[in-house]
């Protein structure tokens, strides 16, 4: 074998060794790297790696109680609740209990109570049974029943939590309504319209025929009282309805003066819904009658 053949053989050997090294360095099929250290994928923990006892902490507040922790341990093993291995579940459960030295006493008491129940179930399953003894109920039955019931309630709670909730998933839009005065002020009555209404009443009084009788003199103050009595229920009375045509022009004038005096003393007011519309008289600060309110 000449020198060139020796060199080629050594090169082939180094290439083969390098290929083997690459195969060993690469993770095997099915292994997933859990960390990258200086660009190198780590699939296993180094043998000389030291982890202090208190380096890892498990906060049990993430679980809502001992049943929630048990359900988590069972699902992590991908087994059915009816086929739980009490010994294995108890072992894992006690590991979590040992980490509860910094937890509150009230919270730890609930978990310790469940640990005692698991220990009792485990001991009952380990005790030998006599052949002549009647078949007893599975010691795990009560625990399985509670786990199934808790799982159902937890599923319902999760379904309810997906429903949109006010102030969490959406907010109600609100806007303050503007202050609107619902009471419409009565329009002012023009004095000319009052005089036109008076002229119409006088015209109608002239057309009224009656027997001439001697009446007592009409008093403006007395007529004011009569008008107020007519308006005491707070209703709107037509202006022309306050006049008695049978009294003639003198009675019309006295009634008109009485109305003007009541307006002057702010006891009554004139209301007109529209221009040149009918004029109504209403007493101020009078309680409306039931018929009028209806």
Which tokens belong to 144? Answer: 């399985």
3-state SS, residue 287: coil
The pLDDT of residue 29 is 41
Task: Please tell me whether residues 203 and 159 are part of one structural domain.
Answer: no
Task: Please tell me whether residues 53 and 154 are part of one structural domain.
Answer: yes
Give 76-122 pLDDT, tens digit per residue: 877 787 777 888 888 888 887 776 665 566 667 777 888 888 888 88
Give me the mean pLDDT over the 191-209 stretch.
81
The pLDDT of residue 72 is 84
Task: Let me know if residue 122 belongs to a domain.
Answer: yes
Distance CA(294)–CA(291), nearest Å, equals 5
Distance CA(130)–CA(145), nearest Å, equals 27
Lowest mean pLDDT among 18-27, 139-148, 284-293: 18-27
The pLDDT of residue 53 is 62
Task: Let me know if residue 49 belongs to a domain.
Answer: yes
Task: Please tell me whether residues 207 and 269 are part of one structural domain.
Answer: yes
The pLDDT of residue 275 is 77
Distance CA(152)–CA(96), nearest Å, equals 24
pLDDT averaged over every residue in the chain:
75
Task: Please tell me whether residues 58 and 148 are part of one structural domain.
Answer: yes
The pLDDT of residue 133 is 56
Give me the mean pLDDT over the 215-223 stretch.
76
Question: How many domains would you assign to the chain?
Answer: 2
Compare 16 and 128 and report the one with higher pLDDT: 128
Compare 52 and 65 and report the one with higher pLDDT: 65
Task: Please tell me whether residues 152 and 214 are part of one structural domain.
Answer: no
CATH number at residue 258: 1.10.10.580
The pLDDT of residue 28 is 44
Distance CA(215)–CA(253), nearest Å, equals 15
Give 238-293 pLDDT, tens digit per residue: 888 888 887 788 888 888 999 899 988 888 888 888 877 888 888 887 655 554 44
Distance CA(241)–CA(239), nearest Å, equals 5
The pLDDT of residue 287 is 59
The pLDDT of residue 8 is 47
Task: Please tell me whether residues 273 and 197 are part of one structural domain.
Answer: yes
The parent domain of residue 109 ranges over 32-126+139-164
Distance CA(180)–CA(165), nearest Å, equals 34
């Amino acid at each position: 074998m000449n020198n060139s053949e020796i060199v080629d053989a050594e090169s082939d050997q180094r290439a083969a060794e390098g290929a083997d090294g690459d195969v060993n360095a690469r993770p095997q099929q099915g292994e997933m790297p859990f960390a990258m250290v200086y660009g190198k994928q780590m699939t296993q923990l180094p043998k000389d790696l030291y982890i202090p006892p208190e380096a890892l902490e498990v906060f049990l507040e993430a679980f809502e109680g001992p049943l929630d922790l048990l359900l988590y341990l069972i699902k992590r093993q991908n087994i059915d609740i009816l086929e739980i291995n009490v010994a294995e579940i108890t072992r894992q459960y006690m590991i979590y209990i040992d980490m509860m030295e910094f937890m509150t006493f009230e919270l730890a008491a609930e978990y310790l109570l469940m640990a005692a129940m698991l220990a009792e179930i485990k001991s009952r399953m380990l005790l030998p049974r006599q052949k002549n003894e009647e078949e007893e109920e599975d010691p795990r039955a009560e625990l399985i029943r509670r786990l199934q019931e808790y799982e159902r309630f937890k599923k319902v709670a999760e379904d309810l939590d997906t429903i949109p909730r006010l102030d969490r998933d959406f907010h109600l839009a609100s806007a303050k309504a503007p202050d609107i005065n619902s009471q419409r002020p009565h329009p002012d009555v023009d004095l000319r319209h009052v005089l036109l209404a008076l002229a119409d009443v006088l015209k109608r009084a002239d057309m009224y025929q009656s027997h001439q009788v001697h009446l007592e003199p009409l008093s403006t103050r007395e007529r004011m009282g009569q008008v107020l009595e007519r308006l005491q229920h707070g209703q709107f009375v037509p202006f022309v309805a306050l006049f008695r045509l049978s009294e003639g022009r003198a009675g019309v004038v006295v009634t008109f003066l009485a109305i003007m005096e009541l307006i002057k003393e702010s006891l009554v007011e004139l209301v007109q819904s529209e221009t040149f519309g009918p004029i109504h008289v209403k007493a101020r600060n009078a309680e409306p009658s039931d018929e009028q309110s209806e």
